[in-house]
Copies of this chain bind each other. A is one copy, B any other.
Amino acid sequence: MGRQANINWSQLLQDIQQHAVKQIARGISLVENEAAGYEQLLLSLPANHDTKIIGITGPPGAGKSTLVDALIGAVSKDGKKVGVLCVDPSSPFNLGALLGDRIRMSEWYNDPNVFIRSLATRGSLGGLHPKIIEITELMKAAAFDYIIVETVGVGQSEIEIAGLADVTVVVMVPEAGDEVQTMKAGLMEIADIFVVNKADRPAADQFVRNLRLMLAPAFNNHQREVPVLKTVALEKQGIAELYTAISSLLQETHDDTKRAWLLTERAYHLVQQKRMKDIRKDVLQQKILEQLRDDRFNLYRFVEGL
């Protein structure tokens, strides 16, 4: 639970609100490592913010990082501030997290409008980073225009990204052709935009047609048609169109239900942690062992006595 740290939290928040990049990075680390007092920082975050979160997800090998890289370019060219959180362990952005070091793509290293950070998933089974909500809230205070969250679409993480992001982009490649039939319902369900990346490959057009068929409102419960866009991220093809599609969706009124669900799960978990703080399982087990040996253990009496 973190070392004692002598930190001026209100100064730190001020610096973050001034978009001081080093202080943003420091703030994230303090939250990640649960440095003593980090809850104070989170308590003092303003609720009001205009930062939009863009979720980029999809199977491994779909080219998510290249797409994110290209998207950073488009956003940066637009004069907007963008923060990137990478919770995809297979991403090259995430090399830093794997090595216990922070590596930023050299292209953006000197761009003050671009901030890239990798987060270790820390074995939280299939989910996003355990403090992803806290970290995005902190970054919102830093007045980013966009936060891009890149994550691999497996397990729990895909419903989490849908709750976290204002718009969720699901990236696939034409090779996925046959897989689409058996594509995880989860990925279909959460996509606000579909991107078929590496669309210069032969099977691309057929794949896009199939995808559009599957996404037709008659066959699923999306409220409206889900756009399917073609990109060749490595050549920056289709990126401007993707950025336009994202921006336009972000203008629309947003349904908060998924976000409220995610926040409810997290809030419930935090209350649980707080209320169970005084109970250590190893101590319980020791007491239970003793009572078992004396043949006086009764589960409900034991629980009532805690």
A: which residues have CB within 8 A of B? 39, 42-43, 45-48, 133-134, 137, 256-257, 259-261, 263-268, 270-272, 274-276, 279, 281, 284-285, 288-289, 291-293, 295-304, 306
Q: A271 to chain B: which residues have CB within 8 Å?
A: 276, 279, 303, 306
Q: A299 to chain B: which residues have CB within 8 Å?
A: 42, 133-134, 137, 263, 266-267, 270
Q: How far is the CB of A52 from chain B (nearest CB, A)?
A: 14
- The listed residue (B42, B45, B267, B288) touching A267 by CB distance below 8 A is B288
Q: A43 to chain B: which residues have CB within 8 Å?
A: 298, 300-301, 304
Most buried by B among A46, A297, A300: A300
Q: How far is the CB of A26 from chain B (nearest CB, A)?
A: 19
Give A10 to B91 CA distance when docked, in angstroms. 63
Q: How far is the CB of A238 from chain B (nearest CB, A)?
A: 33
Q: How far is the CB of A126 from chain B (nearest CB, A)?
A: 14
What are 7 inter-chain pairs, A to B, with CB distance below 8 A? A42-B299, A42-B300, A47-B296, A256-B292, A259-B292, A265-B281, A275-B275
Give A59 to B261 CA distance when docked, in angstroms. 38
A260 touches B42 (CB 8 A): no
Q: Residue of B at shortest CB range from A301?
A: B43
Q: Residue of B at shortest CB range from A43?
A: B300
- The listed residue (B45, B289, B300) touching A256 by CB distance below 8 A is B289
Q: A256 to chain B: which residues have CB within 8 Å?
A: 289, 292-293
Q: Across the A-B interface, give the 3 residue pairs with the lowest CB-CB distance, nearest first.
A: A42-B300, A264-B285, A260-B289
Most buried by B among A39, A260, A304: A260
Q: Decide: A297 near B263, CB < 8 A? Known: A256-B292, A268-B281, A303-B271.
A: yes
Q: Decide: A260 near B300, CB < 8 A? Known: A272-B276, A275-B275, A284-B268.
A: no
- The listed residue (B267, B285, B304) touching A284 by CB distance below 8 A is B267
Q: A134 to chain B: which residues have CB within 8 Å?
A: 299-300
Q: A275 to chain B: which residues have CB within 8 Å?
A: 272, 275-276
